[in-house]
Amino acid sequence: MQIFHNPNYNFIRWRWHAIGLSAAIILAGAAMIATKGVPLGIDFSGGTLVRVQFDQPVSEDQVRKALDTIPGDKVVQQFGPVADRQIMIRLPQTGTAEQGISLEQGSRQIEDALSKAGLKFQILVRDIVGPVIGADLQKKGVYATLASILAITIYIAVRFRPSFAIGAIAATFHDILVTAAFLQFFKYELSLNIVAAILTITGYSVNDTIVIFDRVRENMRNKRREPLEQVVNTAVNQTLGRTIITAGTAFLSVLALYLFGGEALEGFSFTMLVGIISGTYSTIFIASAIAIILSKKPQTAAAAPASEPAARSARKQKGAKAS
Amino acid sequence: MTQNVLWKLGLIVAVIALSVGSFYFKGMNLGLDLKGGVHLVMRVQTDDALRVQTETTVEQLRDALTRGSIQFSKLEMKDAKTFVVEGVTNDQGFRAAAVDADTIYNRSSGVGSYTYSMKPNIENQLRGEAVDQALQTIERRVNELGVAEPIVARQGAVDQILVELPGVSEVQRAKDIIRSTAQLELKIVEQGPFGTEEAAKQAYNNNVPSDILILPGTGDSGGATPGTVFYALRRASVVTGRDLRNARPSLDENNLPAVGFSLNGDGARKFGAATEANIGRQLAIVLDGRVYSAPVIQSRISDEGRISGSFTQQEAQDLSLTLRSGALPASLTYLEERTVGPTLGADSVRAGVAASIGGLVFVVLFMIFYYKLTGLNAVISIIVNLLILLGLMAYLGFTMTLPGIAGFILTIGMGVDSNVLIFERIKEELSGTRGARAAINAGFDRVWWTIVDTHVSSLISALLLLQFGTGPVRGFAVTLIIGLLANVFTAVFVSRTVFELVLGQRKTQTLSI
């Protein structure tokens, strides 16, 4: 059984359309981020988050009313199905211990206010994140993502050629940006788990790209006469079955996580789902397109003959490495 | 079956047996998010330790100058790591007296006045020691709390300490016990009690000498001044918490809960001498900067004492616990607190297991549907992969967290990738003229470097995730890393061995793929 029998689609022909579509999604996401900002979860913004299970059914409004006395922007939200009687309450960061405000203050205020309103409840989750930790995590999250991209770029540049590395990294950035745009569209707050998912996507996305590039390298040894577009397009087609099946199995297993994994992992699995789709798409359309565009540049330039020996020696080098 | 295949098979069976065994016997550590409990991150205010050092140095210098009759107009602490001396006329005598201070502080001099600031290496050393001591003290307290498998460790920045207490339900009590500095000091009362702080200062014409300390306290029960009162105390302590040998809950003369303590040999000597010399004066029992009681010294006391205040039984118990475990060298502030109720943790485990099984079933069905019998080969390698993952996690004592379960599922999904890569290549080779065995060999050989490349790039991002992550996310990164490593073994070695085993020495050259 085979999904594709000797597929021979001309993916490279669609590269500009693909780049246009991606640019549209990314720009829309960026516009939303620019106007509304990235909604930060408690891990990064700091503050207090309490998840309460009530003994009797209560409405969000009831809880909101009970908490009226607490100043600041509160978020009160039903958590999970109504039958669970769980409400999530979030308070913003108020002050620091150095200013004489204890970290627990917010959570204590919530408990007092709910008790005073005559509600019976138990606390399931209490997250209190001080400003130091929040800022620390923000910084670390950005560093880890950038360092991961940089390290992978270097690896690909060493194993393949620099233009390929740029193609792979462009595809990875593409996936991160598209995922960020979708997180924005579906109003997910950035949490530790979501950053973990994004980092995983950088690894996954490059995986896909490497498989194609490996094939391109192999084909270049056999079909030296063909233009690069042709070689790349053949490689994309040859690996198409694998790309779709891998994406499919990864997608299915993460879908199981999204469906059965509980609310705590919902943001994580949503991010992964978007990342897997985007990763597959970018592998087929974006990575190779950019690799081609960048590889061609020296040849269209006036100094074409000068670049020819360089390219040949590069190929020789690759051949030597593989043997 | 050739010798070669037998040998490989033996290795695979051994790996499986080891994995299952270590999982079975060692069990899996569950993270707080799965077990319930509290995760705390706190900062040690290491400035406190510097302040103590500077205070002590200033007092010692004052003593030395007084003993040597060396004139000075001013000697005071400016901040935690600097102090100034002014109006020194006998320069040579001063320098001789200040030898000790010179070892710890850098001196900048003007005419007859000096500014001492702490040497940077000493400062770092003191800060480091304060964190170490705090770590040890917290460890002792947590152990006395009787929590199973607690974690007390440094985290991130140098002055942060992480404490994880699984299954603790009285979070507030645990936090209070961990945080209380439990700084016990016994000081001689010079004057007081006064009704207000101003009154106490006025007793010195608003010019309190620097060896006198004014501290708040609780008015003696039955005394004329209930509520908060103020005492003027000698700054130098007679004995401190460091001189304690033991502390335990007891009862005071009114049969109310109190904390009795006894002093070690050195402390008892100091205490005996001081009480003998000050009979008739009050002795203030100061805990964390507050006077708990100030009984009049009736006679020489050597090694026993009692702290009474209006304690509840629980408070008396907690206080003796913290006193026993020693004082914190510096105060703590909480930076982060995450509490997960135990029922929620159990729910998460259920959901995670359900999702894992769901993911596995999806993938297994698909692989068998798409690759038929060869798909079974992939299923074998996924299952061996998961067994190794569980076994290694258990053996190495890593903690399974909720995101770790996600890593588990992702391992299932992405683990198949290598199999798919190989199988697709085998299919391609089969469509050529070669036979099954040649196609399999070509498939594995051609794809090997692709697998290496993909795994290295995934490992790079997983390792950086490990660097970035705290608690749960680390669990995810660990699962992913072990899953990736195990996958190289299963997808290539195990899967190939299964092919060799099935094809055996047969001449048939068809493959169900």
CB atoms < 10 A from the CB of A298, how many?
Answer: 15
B366, B476: one domain:
yes
CB contact under 8 A, A148 and B477: no
Nearest to A204 among B412, B414, B473 (CB): B414
Confidence band for B225, pLDDT divided at 50, 70 and 90:
very low
Please say if the pLDDT value at position B362 is more than 70. Answer: yes
Our count of domains for chain B comes to 3
B493, B400: one domain:
yes
Buried b (16+ CB within 10 A) or exposed e, B472-485: bbbbbbbbbbbbbb
Structure tokens, B46: 């290491």
Determine which of A239, A249, A272, A280 to mutate to test the interface with B (most B C-beta atoms within 10 Å). A249
Nearest to B352 among A127, A204, A261 (CB): A261
Q: pLDDT at position B473, please?
A: 81
B433, B294: one domain:
no
B422, B358: one domain:
yes
Alpha carbon of A304: minimum distance to chain B alpha carbons (Å): 31
Q: pLDDT at position B484, please?
A: 92
CB-based contact, B131 to chain A, within 8 Å: no
B393, B282: one domain:
no
Nearest to B464 among A144, A256, A259 (CB): A144
Confidence band for A321, pLDDT divided at 50, 70 and 90:
very low
Determine the 3-state secondary structure of B302 from DSSP: coil
B347, B492: one domain:
yes
B293, B407: one domain:
no
Confidence band for A316, pLDDT divided at 50, 70 and 90:
very low
Q: Which of B123, B143, B161 is the last residue of a domain?
A: B123
B38 contacts: CB under 8 Å, gap ≥ 6: B32, B164, B165, B168, B171, B174, B175, B337, B338, B339, B340
Please say if the pLDDT value at position B202 is more than 50. Answer: yes
Residues B26-63 have pLDDT tens digits of: 888 888 888 888 989 988 888 888 888 888 888 888 88
Q: Which of B92, B123, B154 is the last residue of a domain?
A: B123
Residue B14 or A161, more confident: B14
Determine the 3-state secondary structure of B12 from DSSP: helix
Contacts of A159 in chain B (CB under 8 A): 453
Determine the 3-state secondary structure of A104 from DSSP: coil
Contacts of B409 in chain A (CB under 8 A): 253-254, 256-257, 261
Q: pLDDT at position B390, please?
A: 92
Residue B222 or B379, more confident: B379
B482, B349: one domain:
yes
> CA nearest B258: which of B198, B184, B202, B309?
B309
Any alpha helices (H) in B116-170, and if so which ranges? 120-145
CB contact under 8 A, A2 and B427: yes
Query: Would you give the end-to-end CA distance of chain B in angstroms?
Result: 22
Please say if the pLDDT value at position A304 is more than 70. Answer: no
Is residue B431 domain-resident? Answer: yes
Confidence band for B331, pLDDT divided at 50, 70 and 90:
confident
Confidence band for A317, pLDDT divided at 50, 70 and 90:
very low
Residue A142 DSSP symbol: H
Whole-angstrom CA distances from B23 to B104, B394, B397 are 53, 5, 10
CB-hemisphere CA count at 13 Å for B439? Answer: 20
Contacts of A155 in chain B (CB under 8 A): 453, 456-457, 460
Q: Report the chain B residue with the minimal C-alpha distance to residue A46.
A: B336
Residue A9 DSSP symbol: -
Q: pLDDT at position A243, please?
A: 87
CB-based contact, B343 to chain A, within 8 Å: yes
Determine the Cα–Cα distance for residues B95 and B437; give it in Å rounded to an integer. 90
Q: pLDDT at position A311, please?
A: 42
Contact A103, A127 (CB under 8 A): no
Is residue B233 domain-resident? Answer: yes
Contact A246, B417 (CB under 8 A): yes
Question: Phi then psi for A68, rounded to 5 degrees?
Answer: -50, -35
Please say if the pLDDT value at position B21 is more than 90. Answer: yes
Please say if the pLDDT value at position A74 is more than 90. Answer: no
Residue A11 DSSP symbol: T
B338 contacts: CB under 8 Å, gap ≥ 6: A125, A126, A127, A128, A129, B32, B38, B39
CB contact under 8 A, B465 and A248: no
> CA nearest B185: which of B135, B220, B235, B247?
B235
> CA nearest A266: which of A203, A192, A194, A201?
A194
Q: pLDDT at position B267, please?
A: 81
Please say if the pLDDT value at position A303 is more than 60. Answer: no
Q: pLDDT at position B12, please?
A: 92
Residues A188-191: contacts with CB under 8 Å, at least 24 apart: A188/A39, A188/A267, A188/A270, A188/A271, A189/A39, A189/A40, A189/A41, A189/A267, A190/A38, A190/A39, A190/A40, A190/A41, A190/A43, A190/A44, A191/A41, A191/A42, A191/A43, A191/A44, A191/A267
B350, B446: one domain:
yes
Domains within chain A, CATH numbers bracketed: 12-40+134-322 (1.20.1640.10), 47-129 (3.30.70.100)
Buried b (16+ CB within 10 A) or exposed e, B16-44: beebeebbeeeeebbbbbbbbbbbbbbbb
Percent of chain B with pLDDT over 70: 96
Mean predicted confidence (pLDDT) in B408-433: 84
- Ordered DSSP codes for B244-257: EEEEEEEE-TTS-E
Determine the Cα–Cα distance for residues B150 and B165; give it in Å rounded to an integer. 5
User: What is the gyration radius of the CA atoms in chain A, in angstroms?
Assistant: 25
Residues B136-157 have pLDDT tens digits of: 888 888 888 878 788 888 886 6
CB contact under 8 A, A255 and B453: no
B20, B118: one domain:
no
B74-79 β-sheet, strand order: B74-79, B82-86, B114-118, B105-109
Is residue B457 domain-resident? Answer: yes
CB atoms < 10 A from the CB of B365, how many?
Answer: 13
> CA nearest A183: which of A196, A169, A198, A172?
A198
B365, B423: one domain:
yes
Please say if the pLDDT value at position B446 is more than 90. Answer: no
Confidence band for B16, pLDDT divided at 50, 70 and 90:
very high
Please say if the pLDDT value at position A7 is more than 80. Answer: no
Q: pLDDT at position B508, please?
A: 58
Residues A105-158 have pLDDT tens digits of: 888 888 888 888 888 888 888 888 888 888 888 888 888 888 888 888 888 888
Contacts of A264 in chain B (CB under 8 A): 33, 348, 351, 402
CB atoms < 10 A from the CB of A230, how many?
Answer: 14
Structure tokens, A295: 């590889």
Determine the 3-state secondary structure of B231 from DSSP: strand
Nearest to B413 among A51, A123, A249 (CB): A249
Residue B337 DSSP symbol: E
Please say if the pLDDT value at position A83 is more than 70. Answer: yes
Q: pLDDT at position A309, please?
A: 41
Determine the Cα–Cα distance for residues B175 and B163; give it in Å rounded to an integer. 10
Q: Which of B107, B123, B139 is the last residue of a domain?
A: B123
Please say if the pLDDT value at position B237 is more than 70. Answer: yes
CB contact under 8 A, B469 and A192: yes
Residues A118-130 have pLDDT tens digits of: 888 888 888 888 8
Is residue B83 domain-resident? Answer: yes
Contact B391, B22 (CB under 8 A): yes
Nearest to B450 among A214, A259, A268 (CB): A214
ipTM for the assembly: 0.80
B268, B294: one domain:
yes
Q: pLDDT at position B17, please?
A: 93
Residue B243 DSSP symbol: G
Is residue B283 domain-resident? Answer: yes
Q: pLDDT at position A310, please?
A: 41
Contacts of A127 in chain B (CB under 8 A): 337-339
User: What is the gyration radius of the CA atoms in chain B, in angstroms?
Assistant: 35
Structure tokens, A275: 């990342």
Question: Mean pLDDT, chain B, as a whole number?
Answer: 84
CB contact under 8 A, B347 and A259: no
Residues B3-7: contacts with CB under 8 Å, at least 24 apart: B5/B497, B5/B500, B5/B501
Residues B98-140 have pLDDT tens digits of: 888 888 888 887 777 888 999 999 899 889 888 988 888 888 8
Mean predicted confidence (pLDDT) in B316-344: 83
Residues A262-281 have pLDDT tens digits of: 887 889 999 999 999 999 89
Alpha carbon of B375: minimum distance to chain A alpha carbons (Å): 12
Q: pLDDT at position A306, please?
A: 38
Nearest to A148 among B333, B343, B464 (CB): B464
Is residue B318 domain-resident? Answer: no
Is residue B250 domain-resident? Answer: yes
CB contact under 8 A, A128 and B340: no
Q: pLDDT at position B506, please?
A: 62
Q: Which region among A162-166, B20-24, B223-227 has the lowest average model confidence (pLDDT)?
A: B223-227
CB contact under 8 A, B473 and A196: yes
Q: pLDDT at position B220, please?
A: 55
Amino acid at A239: T
Q: What is the domain range of residue B468?
A: 3-34+343-503
CB contact under 8 A, B359 and A257: yes
Whole-angstrom CA distances from A181 to A25, A40, A211 are 7, 14, 26
Amino acid at B182: A
Residue A15 or A282, more confident: A282
Q: pLDDT at position B67, please?
A: 82
Residues B471-510 have pLDDT tens digits of: 678 888 899 999 999 999 998 999 999 888 887 766 556 6
CB contact under 8 A, A151 and B460: yes
CATH number of B64's domain: 3.30.1240
Residue B18 or B170, more confident: B18
Alpha carbon of A30: minimum distance to chain B alpha carbons (Å): 24
Percent of chain B with pLDDT over 90: 12
Is residue B111 domain-resident? Answer: yes
CATH number of B356's domain: 1.20.1640.10
